[in-house]
Every structure is written in structure tokens, then in C-alpha cells.
Amino acid sequence: MPFFTAAPEAVPGAVSATDQALVLSLIVLPLIGFGLTALIGRRLGGRAWIIAVAAIVLTWLAAMVLVYQTLFVGAFGEAGLHVLVYEWIPAGAFTVDIAFGVDALTAVMLIVVATVGMLVHIYSIGYMAHDPGRWRFFAYLNLFMFSMLLLVLADNFLLLFVAWELVGLCSYLLVGFWYRRRSAALAAKKAFLVNRVGDVGFTLGIVAIWTTVGTLDFGQVFQLLPEALATGAIEQWHMIGICLLLFAGAMGKSAQFPLHVWLPDAMEGPTPVSALIHAATMVNAGVYLVARSNPLFAQAPEALVVVAAVGIFTAIMAASIAFTQTDIKRVLAYSTLSQLGYMFAALGVGAFIPAIFHLLTHGFFKGLLFLGSGSVIHAVHDEQDMDRMGGLRKRIAITHLTMLVGSLAIAGIPPLAGFFSKDEILAESFKLGFAWVWFIGIVVALMTGFYMFRLMGKTFYGPSHVDPEVEPRIHESPRSMTVPLVVLAVASAVVGLALGFPFENGILHGWLEPVFHGAEETLGHAGGDYQLFGIDGTLLLISTGVSVAGVLLGWRFFGFLSRRPQPEAVERLTQRLRPAYAFSKGKWYFDELNDLLFVRLGGLVARALWWFDVHIIDGTVNGIANLTRSSGGGLRQIQTGHVQNYALGIAAGLLIIALGYLVVVTR
Amino acid sequence: MSQSLDAYLILSGLLFAIGTFGFLARRNAIAMLMSIELMLNAVNLSIVAFGAFVPSLAGDGALIALFVMAVAAAEATVGLAIVIAIYRNKRTPLVDEYASMRE
């Protein structure tokens, strides 16, 4: 077996031993960290984090070197670096390898995954310091990092799928980390089950690809499938079908309507987990999958319309729910849904680069917001209800400032990160002829500013509603928690300007252009010149104006810095919009709908099938057995044990044979 | 010696029927063994008769009858041995009592 050799499609001599070692270390280091922490972590007691954090810091270093090599030096060319580790499934002409690929898209994902992953690890040192199960927590966290890195590095669909399921497993383990709490155990189960629904589609999609082109290697699939379509070997609807099946998997993992119900419940997990898995990395896997499969989606514009519609609908639905939730983490969870919806909308309109750009910026500012909310929860002693917070601004100043940066960034206020990526998504939607996506997107931008500053206002400004017993003990979090917050705040502030300016022509576009070039060409998206004083400038002004309006509305009702909140105005508004308020507060009654459709109605069907199974299927089987037994029971009465009875039988038989013979012969 | 084959066969049939009746009707194991001998000899008689009257057999009937006698002797030996063995257990020669093999 060829261990550690270059894949044949790579340029000969381009893969040096150092690069291979780098790629492998990304996978191996977290795995070692997981193994060691799982084995001896319990004995380390309060220092259970030491191995795990060290492993991830080293991983981050390796990742950054690799990112530097890929994006800044361009050492691997447009095709990227491909490392074949092991021929996993050699089955005649069909082979699946353990093979890793690093191109610009993977490198951008590595920036988010490794950086947020490392910061969350460091943050967890403080956050989990008093939890007796911390060694288990760090082991899981390392396992997650291994899985997530495997996911972005995988060079074929099957390996991607394995990693896809591994991150799902880690999500399950970490959501249910406090498994003694019934709600946490249920939430973990829900996340796992809802993801299975999407994974059915993903699995079928992979099988469809395999039966069509007989390979699962990314490079070959992305070349052979469009070729098959061009030569007429497959029809258009095959392509659309494959894309929609892959998208079904993406919908599950990235929690898009109607499979979004698991993500808000997943907030039962520890807050660092929410930040890492359910905001910055794992939920982006769906976006990554669609972006990675862009050569396929480009051939199926109808599927892309579905992607756009699902994305933008999720965006506005989740934003409307975020209006009324009072659990600080749930507001952020719905905000995550909404932002993921933006990314899918961008992918759907064919704006691949803005989608990845938003993935990157969102990873930073949403990671920041979640870690900030964790710091708030920590400060008020495990209280998550925003109605029991308020006035925390001066008490936890660093948390407040960093979260303010994050909120402004997600609201899309220039010059913070979210402004660049969100504006680009909206502008591209409009210019590529998806005015409806643009319009809904603008509405969502307004809503985003509002609900984020509702969160800020209820948490940090106005009078305190904190439990009087806890009030005097409110404290800023330890340094291990505030330092990651500050780092992420800085990143949220500058990453958009650094990578996305000048508009639609930033560094990031240069990096990702080779990855998406073919797809954009297929879709006929010729990149026109950026007109600051024409259409582009107008769109920029509109989206910025709307974002600012949203933030100002939030200030108006919920206060800002020294401005007092207006609870009476909020109450009046709530009363006037009573049904809408109830609808939003009830999360559009999706859980109730699912309960009705699948638990009750599905339960009826299941019970009917169960009846059929017990009475018809089992009845047939048992009937045959009973028939055999009772006939045997009847027949055994003949066995008297009297030899003369048997002899009589023999004689009678002989007589019958003889008589029969006579009748036949003499006739 | 009668010149008709039928007469021998009728006699043989009668003897066989008596033997069969004895085997089915008698309850004594020894009597049943004797009935078997009767049936065997009825068969022997018919074989010898066929040997004498059917030209193609040309006297081979007597030879076969000798074989049957030999087998009958062996059978009687084994049969008696079994009956004695059972008798030692059950202390009765009546086969009605030998029903321990019933289901």
C-alpha cells in the first residue's frame, strides 16, 4: 500500500514531504489529543485541558503554515495540494482513497475552523473549570476538531461523508454533554434524528454519483458529471436530482428549513460548543458541501433556485423568531439560522465567493457573540433568560465591548466584517437577477439589527433584573475567556476590510476565483466592473441604510449605553401585534407541527403497520408453525407402541397394494 | 402330486393367511414368531411350486427355498433372543404389555 505518496493527479514533484507532514498533522494532532485526554484526562483533574489545548494550538500553527503556503505563496497552484495516504477501498475499477486535498476553498475553511477552534479551546479552560466532566469535554472537543478538519480536507465524497457523520456524532455527544439533564439528552437525540433525515438524501446523492460516473473522487466527479451531461449520457433531471439530494444533506447539517428545528434545541450544550460547533464550524459544513460541489450545481440552475429559496426563507423565518425569544442563546441560535440562510441564498443565486466570505466573517462574529453570551451566563451564574439580566454594561465591561463589536458586525454596520460580506451577498443577488432574494435579504438585514440590539439592550443596558442574590457576585470572566473574546472582536472588526475591500475585488476574491471560476462561467455570470457611483453604490447605500435603521430601532426600544429602554413602548407594540407576536414566540409552531405530523400522524401509521406486523406477518409465521404442530400432535396418536397395530398397518397396506395391482392389471 | 400349479398356490395362500391372522391376533410373542414361520413356509411352498411348474426357472425354485430357510432360521434365532430379553424385563410373554415405545 502506498503510504505517504503523492496522488497521481498532482503535479509531479510538487508534493514535498513537509507539505504532506503538515496536512497529516492537521488530522493526527487532534486525534492524539483526543486519545490521550480520553485515556489519562481524568487523572489530570483540573488540568485536563492541557493536552487538548496544546494539540489544538499546534494544529492551528500547522494550519496557518498551510494556509500561508496555499493562499499567500500559491505553492500548490490552482489545483491545490493532494495527498494520498492510503488506498481505502480498492474494488476493481472503483477505488476510494483516504486522500486529502488543500485548495483555496479548503484553506479559507481552515482559517475559520482552526482559529475559532483554538480560541474556543482556550476559552473552555475558564468556562469549564468547575465542571467535573471537563476531561470528557476536552476529549470530545478534540475529536470534533479532528472530524471537522477531516471534513474540510477530504478529497472524495465518501471520506467527506465519514467526517460528516463524525462531526454529527461529536455534536450529539456535546449537546448531550450534561446528559443527566433530560432536556439536554432529548436535544441531543433530536439533533441526531433530524440530521439523519438530511443524511438519507446525502447518502442517496453519493450513491447516485457513484452509479453515474463510477468514482467519488472530487476532481474526477466534477469533471466527469458535467461531461456526461454534455454528451447526453445523463439527462438534465439526473443532474438536478443529484444536486438536490446533496442539498438535502446540507439542509440537515446546516439546519435549513424544514430541518432547522434541531439547532435551537442544541443550545442545551455548553456554550463553547454552541460557539464552535453550532455557529462557526459544523453548521457551515452544508454551505461548504454546496460550494465544494459548485461544478455540479452550476449545471443545475433549477436546483440552485431551490437552494436560494430555502436559504432566504430560512433567513427571514429565523430572524422573525429571534425577535421574541428571551433565552440569550436561542436568539443567537436563530440568528445563526438566519445567517446560514443568507449563505445558502448567496450560493443559490450563484454568488459563491460572497457565500464563503460570509461563512468566514460569520464564523468570527458569531463565535464571538456565542462566547460573549457564555461570559454573560457565567457572570450571572448560569442564568440564560434575558428578562433576568440587564444593566451588565459596567459590571462586565470587556464582554460588553466585544459583544457590541460582534453585534454591530452581524448587523452589517461599516466598516465591520459583516457589512462587507452581507452587502456583497445582497448586491450580487440583485445584479444576478434575483430581485426577490435581494428584497427579502434587505428586510432580514433590518430585522437582524433590531433583534441583535434587542439582545444587547436587554442584557447590558437599562435597569438590572438580575436575581438580587446573584447581583453582588457578578464578575468579569477570567483571562482565559476574555482574551479569546478580544481576539475574535478584533477579527470581526477587521477581517471584512482586510479580505473584502475593495468591493467584489478583495484579496478573498483573488484566492477563491480559481475554485469558482468554472461555475461562474457556466452560469454566465460575467463579472462586470464595480460601479461605486452606479448600481453598486446605490445597493451599498440601501443595505447600509437598512442595517443602520435596524440598529436604531433596537436602540429606540431597548436602550443603548446611557439611553433608557422603553418597556412601555415595547409592551404597546406587543399588544398591537398580538397574533404575530404569539406566532414568533411559538417559533412558527414548527415543533407542534412536527409533533402532529410525525409523532401523532406518523405514530398512527406506525401503529397500523405494527398491527399488520403482529397480526398478519407474525400471524402467518405462527400459523404455519401451529398447523405443523397440531397436525403432528394429531398424527402421533397413531403411535400406540403395540407392535401388532403396526403389523396390521403393514398388512393392510400390502393388501391395498395387491388389490390395486389386480385392478390395474386385470383391467 | 397334483398336476396343477393353482392347487399349490391356493394352499400357499391359505397358509400365509393363517400365518398373518396368527401374527395379528395372537398376543403371545412366541406364538407370533411361530406365525411368522408359517408365513415364511407358505412363501417357500409357492416358490418351490413355481420352480417346478415354470420352465424358465428350471428348478431354481428349490435353491431359493433353501436360502429362505437359512434366513428364516437366523430370523427365528434373533426373534427368540429378543423375546427372551424382553421377557426377562417384563416377566410376561404378552406383547400388549410391550407398549413402552408409544409416543
Would you say B28 and B83 are in contact if contact means Cβ atoms under 8 Å apart? no
Look at residues A177, A297, A317, A313 and name the one whose alpha carbon lies nearest to residue A245: A297
The residue to which cell 398512527 is assigned: A604
Backbone angles phi, psi at A474, to 5 degrees: -60, 130
Q: What is the pTM of this model?
A: 0.79
**Least CB-CB distance to A641: which of B20, B32, B101?**
B101
Asked if residue A544 has pLDDT above 80, the reply is yes
CB A263 within 8 A of CB A168: no
Task: Give the C-alpha distances (Å, rounded to integers) separating A557 from A285, A570, A579, A601.
Answer: 36, 6, 20, 42
The answer on pLDDT for A563 being more than 80 is no
- Judged by CB atoms closer than 8 Å, whether chains meet at B95 and A637 is answered as no
More confident residue, A41 or A149: A149
pLDDT tens by residue, A215-238: 899 988 998 888 888 888 888 888
A566 pLDDT above the threshold of 90: no
| Per-residue model confidence (pLDDT) at position A10 | 44
Give the pLDDT score at B94. 86
| pLDDT value, residue A562 | 67
**Residue A29 pLDDT exceeds 80:** yes
Angle formed at CA A374 by CA A370 and CA A377, multiple of 5 degrees: 135
The pLDDT tens digits for A567-596 are 788 888 888 888 888 888 888 888 888 888
The angle subtended at Cα A111 by Cα A107 and Cα A114, nearest 5°, is 115
B73/chain A closest Cα distance in angstroms: 21
Q: Average pLDDT of chain A?
A: 87
Rg of chain B in Å (alpha carbons): 17
Q: Considering CB atoms only, which of A640, A644, A647 is closest to B102? A: A640
Which of B16, B30, B103 to probe the A interface (max A CBs under 10 A)? B103
The confidence band for A245, taking pLDDT boundaries of 50, 70 and 90, is very high
Please report residues of A whose CB lies closer than 8 A to that of B23: 644, 647
B14 to chain A nearest CA, in Å?
A: 15
A483 by Cβ neighbours in 10 Å (0-12 / 13-18 / 19+) ranks as middle
Name chain A contacts of B32, Cβ cutoff 8 Å: 644
Whether A442 and A542 have beta carbons less than 8 Å apart is answered as yes
Task: Find out whether A179 and A188 touch, Cβ atoms under 8 Å.
Answer: yes
Q: Which residue of B has its CA nearest to A632?
A: B103
**CB–CB of A644 and B103 under 8 A?**
no
Q: Which residue of B has its CA nearest to A640?
A: B102
Chain B residues whose CB is inside 8 A of the A653 CB are: none
Nearest chain B residue to A645, by CA: B24
With CB atoms and an 8 Å threshold, state whether B100 touches A639: no
Chain B interface, mutation test: which of A644, A645, A650, most B Cβ atoms within 10 Å? A644
Helix-then-strand count for chain B, H and E: 3, 0
Tell me if residue A567 falls in helix, strand or coil: helix
Contact B24 A639 (CB under 8 A): no
8 Å CB contact between A504 and A534: no
Confidence (pLDDT) at A487: 92
Distance in Å, alpha carbon of B21 to nearest chain A alpha carbon: 10
Taking residues A486-493, report their average pLDDT: 91
Contact A641 B99 (CB under 8 A): yes
Chain A residues within 8 Å of chain B (Cβ atoms): 636-637, 639-644, 647-648, 651
Residue-wise pLDDT tens digits, A323-363: 888 899 999 999 999 999 999 999 999 889 999 999 999 99
A647 contact residues in B (CB cutoff 8 A): 23-24
Chain A nearest C-alpha distance from B98 (Å): 7
Model confidence over A371-420: pLDDT tens digits?
999 999 888 888 888 888 878 888 888 899 999 999 999 988 888 888 88
For residue A110, give the nearest of A36, A22, A44 by alpha carbon: A22
What is the distance between the alpha carbons of residues A496 and A104, in angstroms, rounded to a whole number? 17
**Mutation site, A636, A637, A643, A655, interface B, largest B CB count within 10 A:** A643
Portion of chain A with pLDDT greater than 90, in percent: 43
A314-328 confidence digits (pLDDT tens):
999 999 998 888 899
Contacts of A637 (CB under 8 A, 6+ apart): B103
pLDDT of residue B96: 81
> Quick check: B102 and A651 CB within 8 A?
no
Interface of B with A in 48-77 (CB under 8 A): none
Distance from CA of B16 to the nearest CA of A (A): 12
**Environment class of A228 (CB within 10 Å of its CB; exposed 0-12, middle 13-18, buried 19+):** middle
C-alpha closest to that of A337 among A403, A284, A407, A405 = A284
To 5 degrees, how large is the angle CA A616–CA A621–CA A622? 95
The answer to whether B20 contacts A644, with C-beta atoms less than 8 Å apart, is no
Contacts of B24 in chain A (CB under 8 A): 644, 647-648, 651
Q: Are A395 and A379 in contact (CB under 8 A)?
A: yes
Query: Which has more pLDDT, A200 or A72?
Result: A200
Strands A81-91 and A94-102: antiparallel
* B28/A contact by beta carbon, under 8 A: no
**Helix, strand or coil for residue B3?**
coil
Q: Which of A629, A642, A654 to mutate to test the interface with B (most CBs of B within 10 A)?
A: A642
**CA–CA min distance A647, chain B (Å):** 7
Short-list A485, A480, A658, CA closest to B20: A658
Q: Which helix (H) or strand (E) holds A207?
A: helix A182-213
In angstroms, the CA B8 to CA B5 distance is 5
Residue A2 pLDDT > 50: no
On the question of pLDDT at A14 being above 60, the answer is no
* Banded pLDDT at A173 (limits 50, 70, 90): very high
Give yes or no for B9 touching A (CB within 8 A).
no
Starting from the edge strand earliest in sequence, which strands make up the sheet with A81-91, in order?
A5-6, A81-91, A94-102
DSSP letter at A471 equals G
Least CB-CB distance to A644: which of B24, B101, B103? Answer: B24
Which long-range contacts does A238-242 make (Cβ < 8 Å, 24+ apart)? A238/A208, A238/A212, A239/A296, A239/A299, A239/A300, A239/A303, A240/A300, A240/A302, A240/A303, A241/A208, A242/A205, A242/A208, A242/A209, A242/A212, A242/A296, A242/A300
The three-state secondary structure class of A10 is coil
- Asked if A114 and A63 count as a contact pair (C-beta separation under 8 A), the reply is yes
- If we measure between CA atoms, which residue out of A124, A570, A588 comes closest to residue A386? A570
Who contacts A656 (Cβ-Cβ below 8 Å, separation ≥6)?
none
SS (H, E, C) A49-111: HHHHHHHHHHHHHHHHHHHHHHHHHCCCCCCCEEEEEEEEEEECCEEEEEEEEECHHHHHHHH
Q: Give the model's pLDDT for residue B23.
A: 92
ipTM for the complex shown: 0.83
* Greatest alpha-carbon span in chain B: 52
Q: Which residues of A touch B100 (CB under 8 A)?
A: 641
d(CA A661, nearest CA chain B) in Å: 17
Confidence of residue B75 (pLDDT cuts 50, 70, 90): very high
Give chain B's domains with CATH numbers: 5-97 (1.10.287.3510)
List the grid coordinates of A47. Answer: 488540568
Cell of B90: 417384563
Q: Residue A172: pLDDT band by 50, 70, 90 thresholds?
A: very high
The answer for residues whose C-beta is within 8 angstroms of residue A626's C-beta and 6 or more apart is: none
Mean pLDDT throughout A481-488?
A: 91
Which string of DSSP letters, residue by residue, matches A250-261?
HHHHTT-TTSTT
Identify the band that residue A527 occupies on the pLDDT scale cut at 50, 70 and 90: low
Residue B96 to residue A642, Cβ atoms within 8 A: yes
Residue identified by cell 401451529 is A626
- Rounded alpha-carbon distances, angstroms, from residue A629 to A428, A587, A617, A634, B47: 76, 59, 19, 9, 47
Residue B20 distance to chain A (closest CA, Å): 8
Residues above pLDDT 70, as percent of chain A: 97
Is there a contact between A641 and B23 if contact means CB atoms under 8 Å apart? Answer: no
**Strand, coil or helix: what is A177?**
coil
